A and B are shown apart, each in its own frame.
Chain A
Amino acid sequence: MKDPIEETMPETVLFYIFGAFAVVASLLVIAQRNPVYSVLLLIASFGALSGLYVLLDAPFVAVIQIIVYAGAIMVLFLFVVMLLNAPQEDTEHDLKVHPLLRRGPLRFGAVLAAALVVELVWALTKGGGESGPFAGGAVASVAAIGRSLFQEYSFQFEVTSILILVAMVGAVVLASREVLERRGGGSGPSGDR
């Protein structure tokens, strides 16, 4: 008969590993000068979050996170960063001083982030110490999620499909070149560099 603490030992260890990885990767994302490195670190952070979802008995969400977020949205970000050949920062001062250490942002941003952490932790944990997420038992199989999605939430599902259609049309129109040039030289399109 195994000791119940020993049974959840790997889970605790994995939680801390994935959690630390996610936090460190997110910190590095906002600290990088080069946007390509930021995107790659964010993909690593998504991988850690996917591991956390598996620990939370949500394998479907974990795999969807990899397919949609890390596999599609981040590819989009990477394409845009590469196509724009994004310059890193502009002025001389910006190049010398690290983005997170500049005077104005340092004071405001750090104070804000610290205050936010404290406030969120207080708000989220004041609901009483839940004994553990294991109280609920096995949550849902993929079949149950699908059934619920297409029966209870079918209206929301259809609305999101229209949302994606609108976003797609909007993105194509906004990023297309011909529309800008046909409108004439309002602000002087830069054209090809």
Chain B
Amino acid sequence: MTPLLIAQIGLTLFVFVMLLSSAAVMVYMERKVAAALQQRIGPSLVGPKGLLQPLADIIKLMFKEELRPAASDWIIFALAPMIAATCAFAAFAVVPFGADTTLFGLVPEGLRLQVADVNVAILVVFAIASMGVYGIVLAGWSSNSKYSLLGGLRSSAQMISYELSYGLALASVLLIANSLSLTDIVNRQAGTWWQVIPRWYVFLQPLGFVIYMIAGIAETNRAPFDFPEAEQELVAGYHTEYSSMRFAMFFMAEYINMVTVAAVATDLYLGGWHGPFLPESLGWIWFLVKVGAILFFYVWMRWTLPRYRYDQLMSFGWKVLLPLAVVNLLVTAAGVLYFGL
């Protein structure tokens, strides 16, 4: 049991706990930002400035009764939230969030801040995201209720449609970076041009960044693409019949998927943990700042834009976003060939 092995096991547990608490922090931030955008105060009673509100929410969810429709298929009914939550956590396992750190000299070889350093990391994230569709479609079907089935089918059709543009945006970054490993991609974004502009890929691929963010929002079923789970439309879509901890798992899976999309966007386009004024080993602070900015953008979008109707959503994904993503890929390929990046 070398110190490195112990540190890696500790890192895995740390990432797990951090993802759980990020879901809680997101709940609070969402409600506070929504309140600010709607000119009210938001949670302020539970704890100082309402900071213990997520704790109250979790305790309430834990004490609710676990309901299950009698005509539902109980094996799949219980399995669906597990699949959703597992895929949400697993996708973050290959995302690096900091440079090698020696933990104040305890680990002399340098601990990579990434649970699993795979050299096909981008593809693994994509693969696990495409497995997340199953949690939703199985939840919708196994509830044996019309609203759930419709919501589940629509939601999964939306997710697999936007996966195409997501993958093409990833492929464009891959063309420039020449590597599938997220750590390599981040390290290529170190440094600056002319001492002022950092070498982030968002400056080389602005359209790609926009496409990635839109596809990411659609993949995680967030507004304005949240028709399948909108309260006014389908009661609650695929998680209508779920209560208590199973509902909490879906809820948590959605927020953790958002965090993963934001983290991958930071790694691919915003330079990961590189930033001015701080040494490399404290780069994770910059990472947190960037991910926080993207998550704020997510919440801002939800409470500002009206939601798309389902057919508008699907036609946007196939007729606008996919051709744009293909054009982006072609222009990137032409640029790489011409400029020899």
Contacts and interface: CB of A to CB of B under 8 A. Distances in A.
B156 A67 contact: no
Given A67-B126, A142-B180, A75 B120 contact: no
Given A36-B141, A142-B180, A71 B131 contact: yes
B127 A79 contact: no
Contacts of A79: 137, 153, 156-157
A72 interface: yes
Contacts of A67: 123, 126-127, 130
A60 interface: yes
A142 B181 CA distance: 11
- The number of chain B residues touching the other chain, given as a range, is 20 to 34
B118 to A, nearest CB: 7
A63 B124 contact: yes
Interface string A53-75: 00000011001101100111001
Interface string B169-181: 0000000001010
A78 B178 CA distance: 36
A53 to B, nearest CB: 12
Interface string A168-188: 000000000000000000000
Q: Which among A43, A63, A79, A142 has the highest number of chain B CB atoms within 10 Å?
A: A63
A75 B123 contact: no
A82 interface: yes
B134 A63 contact: no
Contacts of B26: none
Contact of B120 (A36, A40, A43, A142): A142
30 contacts: A36-B73, A36-B76, A40-B138, A43-B134, A59-B118, A59-B119, A63-B120, A63-B126, A66-B128, A66-B131, A67-B126, A67-B127, A67-B130, A70-B130, A71-B127, A71-B130, A71-B131, A72-B130, A75-B137, A75-B156, A75-B160, A78-B137, A79-B153, A79-B156, A82-B137, A82-B141, A83-B153, A142-B119, A142-B180, A143-B178
Contacts of A63: 120, 123-124, 126-127
B188 to A, nearest CB: 15
B123 A60 contact: yes
B133 interface: yes
A12 to B, nearest CB: 22
A180 B126 CA distance: 38
Interface in A118-171: 142-143
Contacts of A43: 134
B149 interface: yes
Contacts of B149: 82
A66 to B, nearest CB: 4
Q: Does more than half of chain B's interface fall in helix, strand or loop, or is it mixed?
A: helix
A62 B141 CA distance: 29
Contacts of B73: 36
A91 to B, nearest CB: 24
Q: Which among B76, B123, B126, B156 has the highest number of chain A CB atoms within 10 Å?
A: B123
Interface string B47-83: 0000000000000000000000000010010000000
A60 B119 CA distance: 10
Nearest to A34: B73
A83 B120 CA distance: 35
Interface string B119-152: 1100110111011011001100100000001000
A75 B123 CA distance: 18
Given A36-B141, A82-B141, A59 B156 contact: no
Contacts of B137: 75, 78-79, 82
A66 B153 contact: no
B225 to A, nearest CB: 18
B109 to A, nearest CB: 19
Closest 6 CB pairs of A and B: A71-B130, A66-B127, A63-B123, A67-B127, A59-B120, A82-B141
A75 B127 contact: no
Given A36-B141, A75-B156, A142-B180, A60 B120 contact: yes
B133 A71 contact: yes
Nearest to B123: A63
Contacts of B153: 79, 82-83
B74 to A, nearest CB: 13
Nearest to A76: B160
A75 B137 CA distance: 9
A154 to B, nearest CB: 15
A142 B99 CA distance: 25
A146 to B, nearest CB: 10
A143 B124 CA distance: 16
B183 to A, nearest CB: 15
A143 B76 CA distance: 40
A72 B160 contact: yes
A36 B126 CA distance: 24
